[in-house]
Amino acid sequence: MREGEHSAYRVPTGRPFLLGELYNKLPSVDDRMKHLPDPADPTEYEAIADALWDVFVTARNLAPVRSPTGCARHPGGPVDTEAPEGWGRCLLCNRNRRIGRPSVKKATNASTSLWAIPDPPYNHAALMAIRRTINHAVMELDYRSPDRAFHEVADLVHSAFIIARELSRPRSTGCQRHPGAPIDPTAAGGPQCIFCVGEERRRQLGPPTVTVRPSRPVPTVRPPVPRRWQQPLPPPM
């Protein structure tokens, strides 16, 4: 190859190192997610959420810097905190859009996160689905992948983190009398406070009765019958 024929492409500084870090961190979290029982305890999800955040930090550092406005023309501009549904977060661009549509209302739950937040429901199945997508996306990742691929991986890991974090919240029974009580997941009509379920049961069935089984009588030992050996009759003569 002659001088000047080299590709103009340069691997961004730090990318090989960070990619190695991503390949190191992801498999263990992935393994732990794969072996989570359904339903798992919130404390199990908490450990997963922590590990996923760690992976996300690496993925975010791998991706090109995302500007708070998400606008190519005004990356350092002011952020529109009342952006209407489906609009970007750039205040300058949104001001121009508002001039054309003055009646537009702000979105009911405008996301202020730079990174993707998945739509509910946040459950075990959703976490498993995103786990597979992450594995697929990371497998295709390489030094020369386009910026968009790195953004996608960071968004996916962030989504997984959000789901795991929601699942890690202590499940409240909503019981006024026993706040923080354990939950009976098998109660009729959905999970309920285990103490209230127990009280209700006792009310319906009465106090538990203990049946004392009489012990078996001691078997009588019969005295051994002396064995009599009979003399065989003499053969008839």
- For the CB of residue 76, give the shortest distance to Zn ion in the complex, in Å: 10
Q: 67 φ, ψ to 5°?
A: -80, 150
How many H helices and E strands in the chain?
Answer: 6, 2
217 prior amide bond cis, ω within 30: no
Among 15, 32, 66, 74, binds Zn ion (CB under 5 A): 74
Kindly state whether residue 98 participates in binding Zn ion, applying the rule CB under 5 A.
no
The amino acid occupying position 89 is R
CA 123 – CA 36 distance, rounded (Å): 12
Least distance to Zn ion from the beta carbon of 74, Å?
Answer: 4
Q: What is the dihedral of CA 187, 193, 195, 197, to 10 degrees?
A: -30
- Binding Zn ion (rule: CB under 5 A), the pick from 93, 130, 137, 156 is 93
Total binding residues toward Zn ion, as defined by CB under 5 A: 12
Q: Which is nearer to Zn ion, 53 or 195 (CB)?
A: 195
Residue in the structure block whose two tokens are 């009398």: 177
Cα 11 to Cα 73: distance, rounded to the nearest angstrom: 25
Q: How far is the CB of 199 from Zn ion (least distance, A)?
A: 8
83 near Zn ion (CB under 5 A): no
Residue 171 as a binder of Zn ion (CB under 5 A): the answer is no
Report if residue 29 touches Zn ion, rule: CB under 5 A. no
Rule CB under 5 A: which residues touch Zn ion? 71, 73-74, 90, 92-93, 175, 177-178, 193, 195-196
